[in-house]
Structures are given as C-alpha cells and as structure tokens.
Amino acid sequence: MTAITHRTIQTNGIAMHIAEAGSGPLVVLCHGWPESWYSWRHQLVALAEAGYHAVAPDQRGYGQTDRPAAIDQYTQLHLVGDIVGLLDALGEETAVIVGHDWGAPVAWNAALLRPDRFPAVVGMSVPFSSRGDIRPTAGMTMAFGDNFFYILYFQQPGVAEAELEADVTASIRRLYFAASGDMVHSPQVLAPRPMAGTRFLDNMPEPEQLPGWLSEADLAFFATEFERTGFRGGLNWYRNMDRTWELMAPWRNAKVTVPALFITGEKDPVRVFAPEANIRSAVPDLKDLVLIPGAGHWVQQERPAEVNAALLKFLRSL
C-alpha cells in the first residue's frame, strides 16, 4: 500500500506540517473544522496511486502546524497565503486545490485570488460565496434573530473553547455523528433554538456506537490532536469572517472562473446554504455538481470511494 509520509515546511511566516503521498501533478487537500490532514487519509492514497502528488497540510491553527496567538492572524488572506507558500516550498508553480468545509473557502479564494497558481478547484460541502454588501455576522443576526446560530456563538473567545474542551473525545464524537449521514435527522443540527442558555452541542446526541466510517482509532487520532492543541486555532477562522469581508472589498461580487467541481453529501445539513443555482452563478465554469447519496457533512470520510471517483474524473478531465 502507498505510504503517507510527513514533514514540516516553512510558509508565510509559520511552520506547517504536511502529509503527502505519491509523485506527479500536485493536488493540495485543505481540511475543515474540526479536522486535520487525517480527514484526507483515503484521498491521499487514492490520488497517489492514480499518479498524483497529494499533499494534505495541517492548516494554520491545527495539528502540528503553528497556531498564532493573535485572532487577526486567521483571515482568508493569511490562509490562502499559507497555501501559496506551500507551493513555493515544494518548488511547484501550480496545483489543483481541493477543500472541504472551512477548507472549501480557502480553496475557492485561492482560485479567485491566484488563478495563476491554482488553475482548477474542487469545493466540498461549502459552496463559493461572492463577497457581498452585508457584513457576515450582521447578515446572520438578521437571519436568525433571537435564535441560536453556532457561528455567532463562536465569536466570543473562550466560550466555545470551554464547552468543547470539557470532554474533547465526546465533543468530536457527538459532532461527527450529528452532522453525518448516519444521523436520522441530520438537518436538526442547524434547527432554530432559543439563544439564551443554548450551547453548541445541546442537540447533538451521544451515538450508541460509532458510524462505520469512523473507527475508534480514527476518533482517537482526532481527539488526541485537539486534546493537545485545543480548539482555539480553528475557532479563530470563524472570528475572522467580518475581517475577511472587509479585506475582500476589491473582490465584491467576483466569480471563480477556473474549472471547478463541487461535491456534497445528500444529507449534509450545510446544503440549506448551497442552492445549486447560486453555485452555478458564482462559479461559471463549474464542470459538475456531485451529490453523494446517503452522505452527510464529512463526505470524503463517509464515502471515500465515491469522492475519490469524482475527484479523479475531474482531475483527468483537466
């Protein structure tokens, strides 16, 4: 079986841990929250065996990569800059960039800001959203009113950290199950709840057993990483949504014009934010929109064979 190797590179002022496999054209895999390079374990091997150099970093704030203390060091410009620097460290001019969950905005924005370096893009679960005229948190407040919304809950430093870090293993287990296709009513993860006294994990049940795609060893890997690092680094990505919006003013209503693919799970609760018409409008060269039956939010972990097939079909078409 193809081996996954590890090393640390220097990029954009930080030390970044990367996992990699294979040789050939470069494909960079950007993970989401709360995950790490390990969420791409199935894709690293499949891409390598198909003739690609697959690289999955622990992104800024995660795993074995540096975690700057200042909240303002986690804007999309920092995160895209990290990946540009990753290409430079590898001696590569271009790469296809793939992102899931929070990694998807990194991938979309990399293709938007540096199409010379990222001439094709794959987003998973989170669609591209052009920079509009309403500050993100203001729009969320307008939309949710007095109801709880997790992104607004995450804005206050220390609050979500205290909840999630009280029992890291249980937090990861409940969140992964609740947003997966194994949850009978996964959209209820985002169902309206009163703001007062509500916490993030309140409507995420403890599963009777782990879903088939997540072994005890997998859960232990993720939990061990967050036991060591805490959740602050990843949560700081949420705390920069307004700051990124301010910095992205020159790209108001801009579209991603490079060839693109979007993959999402049929039962992903985030689908309520991803109408197909909006995606096709914002990404005019969208080659395909792949809906994976039965999959929830953690699509590349839940349905690796289907995701790998879609990825390879797109890569070969380039």
Q: What is the pTM of this model?
A: 0.96
- 297 catalytically annotated: yes
Residue showing tokens 């939990």 = 223
Distance, in Å, from the CA atom of 49 to the CA atom of 54, rounded to the nearest integer, reads: 10
82, 101, 182, 268: which is the annotated catalytic residue? 101
- 202 catalytically annotated: no
Please, how many CA atoms are within 13 Å of residue 278, restricted to the half-sphere of its CB?
11
162-177 average pLDDT score: 98
User: Residues 95-117: pLDDT tens digits?
Assistant: 999 999 999 999 999 999 999 99
21-37 average pLDDT score: 98
The answer to whether the peptide bond before residue 34 is cis (omega within 30 degrees of 0) is yes
Q: What is the CATH number of domain 5-317?
A: 3.40.50.1820
Give the pLDDT of residue 228: 98
Residue ranges of domains in the chain: 5-317
User: Residues 202-256: pLDDT tens digits?
Assistant: 989 899 999 999 999 999 999 999 999 999 999 999 999 999 999 999 999 999 9
Q: How confident is the model at residue 196 (pLDDT cuts 50, 70, 90)?
A: low
